[in-house]
A and B are shown apart, each in its own frame.
Chain A
Amino acid sequence: MDIPGEVVLARRALLDVFEALHDHASALVLVGAQAVYFHAPGGLAVPMFTTDADLALDSDVLATTPDIDATLQAAGYTSGSNPGSWESPLGVHVDLMTPPQGPGRHRTARLPGHGSATARQTPGLEIALADNAPHKIASFDELDARVIQVRVASPAALLIAKFAKLSERISSGKEHRILAKDAGDVLRLLRMNDASSIGERLAELSAEQHPHFVIAPLLDWFAAQVSATFSPLMGLTVDAALGTESDRDLREALGILGNNLVNSFLAARP
C-alpha cells in the first residue's frame, strides 16, 4: 500500500514523542486519525491522510514526574498557541489531550506536576481511557525499524470521540470547522469493524459508572443522523468520499451500519 509522505512523517512524530515521554508510556493512549487508521486501514477508497499525532493522557495513571512540559521542550518541541498543542523538531503537530475534568469549559487540563499548558480538555475522550488495548505500532519508513507498544483507543471509543466532535460543531453552526474527513472516519470504522459488536460494547461501557452519561446522548444524536437520508452527517460522509463512491451507496452504507450499531446498543443495554 502506498502511504503518503505526510502520513509517514506523522507516524514518525508519534514514535518520537512516545520515546520522549517513555517515562509516562503507561498513561498515553493513541487516539485521533492514527488510531482510526490502525483499526480501519481501508473502508473508503480515499487514502488515509493525517499530518499529526494525537495522544490522550490518562490522569489516573499519569505520574507527576518528570514534567512533560519540560521534557518536551528539552527534546526540541515548541508549544503552540493552544494548550496541548506541540510542534515536533521536524515541524509535525502533536496534540496532548485529556477528557473533560469537570463542569465548565476550561481548556487547559490540570495535571499535577506538569506545566499548565501541557494538555487540553477535549470532550468525548472519556471512553478512550476506559476502552483501549496495547498494540504494536511501527514506523511506515522502511529505514526506521522502531516499534512501540502503546495503548490504542478501541473503535467504540474512537466513534464516541467522533460523535462528540461532529455533534458539537454541527449543532453550533461551526461548519467552517467541520471536517468531512471526520465523517469519513466514522464510516471507515463502521465498515472495517463489526458495527453490531461496537454497539454491544458501548452498551457494556454505558453500564459502567463514569462514562455512561457520555454515550447515551451521543448515540441518540447518531441515531437521528443515520435515520435521515439527507442529514448533515450523511452529507459530510458523501463529501469525505470525494466522489469515489456513489451518494446512494454511501448513504445506504452509513444508514445500514449505523442502525446496526444503534440497534445492537439498544438491545444490549441493561
Chain B
Amino acid sequence: MTTQLEASSPYTSVPRSGMFRSMWNTAPRGTLELANGFMAALHTYVPYGVECSLTLPHEGDSRADAILDARIGGENVAFLLNTKSGDTPDGSSSIAPQRRDLEVPVALARYLSPTARSSLTRAGWSYWDTTGNVRLVSESPLIVIERQGAQRDPDPSQAGAPRQLKGLGGAATARVMVYLLTQNFAPSVRELADRTKTSVGTVSRVVALLRNENLLTATGSDSIRIENKMDLIRRWVEDYDFFAANNAARYRSPLGLDGASMAIERNLETATYAYSGLEAAKRWLAVFTPSRTFELPVTDRWLYVTSPVLAEQAASLIPDRRGDIVLATGDFLNGGVNEEGSNDRARLRSVWAWRVAADLMSQPGRHAAMGEQLAEVLAAKGDRLWTSPEK
C-alpha cells in the first residue's frame, strides 16, 4: 500500500485506521515517527525536491522495518529503513542487509552517538537521527549526504529502559570497563560483577548501554564480547574523567617529584599504591614497543593509593591545585586474584595498562595524545594483561 506525497506536506499521509493501522502496529514502536522525521529531513537535504512514499516491506522480507520509495533528481531509490525503540537499530552492528540496485539501507534512531555512527558506517549502513546526524551514501543512484548533529544524547532519559545508565563516568563503571578491555575472554554479567566487585545491576546497565550503542558483539548467549576496543575506550572517555571519578587531588611536595615518588615507594606497602598517567604510559609503551623511545617529559606523577592520608604523610604532600603530584583513590588495588589491581610488568608499580590509557585520554592535550597512543598499541597487541603471577 502506498500513498503519494502531497505537494503541500513533506510527510507521507498514512491512514491510521483499519488495516493500515494494524499493519503499522507490526513495525517496531516509533518507526512511523522516525520515518516521518526522516522524510521531512530528506526534503531539506534535496533542494530541488523529492517525492516520497512510505510502505511496509512485503511479508517475509526482513531487510527493513519500512521502505521509503523516493524519487530524487529523476532517479528512483528505495531507502530500507531500520529502526528500534531506543537509540540504535537492532542488529545494526552486523553487516547491512543485502541490497539490490537502487536500494539504500538506512538506520533510523532518536539519537546515534559518534561511536554508533562510526560502527554503522563500517558495517555498510547509512543513518539518520532526530538530532541531525545523517549520512546517506549510495553509488547507484549516486547519493552523498553527510551532516553532523548532536555529539551527545540531548535527552538520555529517553534512551529506553528504566534506570538506564546515564553515562560511563563512575568509578564502579570504570572497573567494569577496564576489565572488559583487558581480558581476552567473554564473561557473563555475573562473572564480570564478581571479578570487578560491582553489583550485577550496575554491570547489567553498563552492558545494556554498550549494547545500545553497538559496542558489543551479539554472541547469542549471555557472554559479552567487545566489538572494537578503540571504539569502546573512546566512548568511555566521553563520560569518564580521571579526576572526578577517582576523587583525585593535586599536591606539591618539598621533596620534588622524584623525591616524593621515592618516599611513597619506600614507605607504603607495595599493594597500596600504583602509578597511572604519563610515567606509567611511557613504561607500558616501552614494554610493548621496545624498539621505540618516547621523549615526552613526565611533568606530573599520578598515583592511585588505598590511603591518601598515608601517602600525604610519607611524601610531605601539600595540597596545591597546580601541584605536580596527583593522588587518586584506588580501592580496586585491594583486589584479589583475577581481579584488577596492579603489577610490575612495566617495571613500575602500575595499574593495568587500559586504565592508564583511559585516565590519560580523559584529560586534554598531550595527556590525551599519549593515552590514545597507548590504547592503539594495546588494541593492536591484544595482549593478555590481567592477573600478574606475582600479584
Contact = CB atoms under 8 A, between A and B. Distances in A.
Interface stretch (B250-258, B281-289, B340-348): B250-258
A42 interface: yes
Given A191-B258, A192-B262, A256 B316 contact: yes
B156 interface: no
B345 to A, nearest CB: 20
A99 B316 CA distance: 36
Interface string A179-210: 00000000100011010000000000000000
A11 to B, nearest CB: 20
A45 B259 CA distance: 11
Q: Which 4 A-B pairs have the closest CB atoms?
A: A42-B258, A191-B259, A253-B254, A256-B254
Interface of B: 252-259, 262-263, 316
A55 interface: no
A183 to B, nearest CB: 15
Nearest to B293: A2
A194 B256 CA distance: 13
A39 to B, nearest CB: 11
A232 B263 CA distance: 28
B136 to A, nearest CB: 54
A192 B255 CA distance: 7
A69 B258 CA distance: 41
Interface string A241-258: 000010001001111110
Interface centre among A41, A42, A187, A245 (most CB of B within 10 A): A42
A249 B258 contact: no
A157 interface: no
Contacts, number: 36
A40 to B, nearest CB: 9
A84 B258 CA distance: 35
Main secondary structure of the interface of B (DSSP, over half): helix
A43 interface: yes
Interface residues of A, number: 17
B258 A257 contact: no
A44 interface: yes
A42 B316 contact: no
Contacts of A245: 256
25 contacts: A41-B258, A42-B256, A42-B257, A42-B259, A43-B256, A43-B258, A43-B259, A44-B256, A45-B256, A45-B257, A191-B254, A191-B256, A191-B259, A192-B255, A192-B259, A194-B263, A249-B252, A252-B254, A253-B253, A253-B254, A253-B255, A254-B254, A256-B254, A256-B316, A257-B254
B279 to A, nearest CB: 12
Interface of A: 41-45, 187, 191-192, 194, 245, 249, 252-257
A85 B258 CA distance: 34
A192 B258 CA distance: 7
Contacts of A187: 256
Given A191-B259, A192-B258, A257-B255, 12 more contacts: A42-B256, A42-B257, A42-B258, A191-B255, A191-B256, A191-B258, A192-B255, A192-B259, A192-B262, A194-B263, A249-B252, A256-B254
Interface centre among B258, B259, B263, B316 (most CB of A within 10 A): B259
A255 B255 CA distance: 11
A255 B318 CA distance: 14
Contacts of B263: 194
B284 to A, nearest CB: 18
Contacts of B252: 249
A249 B258 CA distance: 14
Interface centre among B254, B257, B263 (most CB of A within 10 A): B254
Contacts of B254: 191, 252-257
Contacts of B316: 256
A45 B262 CA distance: 15
Nearest to A248: B252
Contacts of A254: 254
A226 to B, nearest CB: 11
B318 to A, nearest CB: 8
A69 to B, nearest CB: 41
